[in-house]
């Protein structure tokens, strides 16, 4: 299946603190993906980059590429992302509480 969305080597810093360190993600047509991680892992920041949230631009932008349908895009506002059929409606939650129910080993 063709790739419909690619995030390539996304880097984001806030005041010298690198919060995204070369993150890449490929989404193929007909697939569903989840971005999971602990608090502070960069999930919301990555989605803010993708959706063109003002906080990204206001804090120095980002490095890397977003490729949608084979063409590089750089959304300057959520409305532009939505016009391209990317919805900023996202739910993030911590997985820290789930760890307690996971056992390791045999």
Residue 36's nearest CA partner among 27, 28, 44 is: 44
What range defines the domain where residue 43 resides?
A: 3-88
CATH of residue 71's domain is 3.40.50.300
Report yes or no on 98 lying in a domain.
no
Residue 96's pLDDT is what?
A: 52
Tell me, letter by letter, the H, E, C secondary structure of 41-80: CCHHHHHHHHHCCHHHHHCCCCEEEEEECCEEECCCCHHH
Which tokens hold the place of 8? Answer: 């390539």
Report yes or no on 82 lying in a domain.
yes
Give pLDDT tens digits along the chain (106 positions).
Answer: 788 999 999 999 999 999 999 999 999 988 888 888 888 899 999 999 999 999 999 999 999 999 999 999 999 999 999 999 887 555 555 455 444 444 444 4
Residue 49's pLDDT is what?
A: 96
Report yes or no on 32 lying in a domain.
yes
Report yes or no on 99 lying in a domain.
no
Q: How many domains does the chain have?
A: 1
Q: Is the dihedral of CA 95, 86, 26, 28 positive or negative?
A: positive
């Amino acid at each position: 299946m063709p790739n419909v969305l690619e995030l390539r080597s996304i880097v984001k810093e806030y005041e010298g603190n690198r919060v995204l360190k070369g993150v890449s993600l490929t989404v193929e047509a007909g697939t569903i993906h989840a971005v999971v991680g602990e608090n502070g892992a960069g999930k919301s920041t990555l989605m803010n980059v993708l959706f063109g949230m003002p906080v990204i631009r206001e804090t120095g932008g980002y490095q890397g590429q977003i490729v949608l349908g084979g063409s590089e895009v750089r959304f300057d506002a959520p409305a532009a992302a939505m016009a391209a059929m990317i919805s900023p409606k996202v739910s993030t939650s911590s997985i820290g509480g789930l760890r307690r129910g996971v056992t390791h080993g045999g």
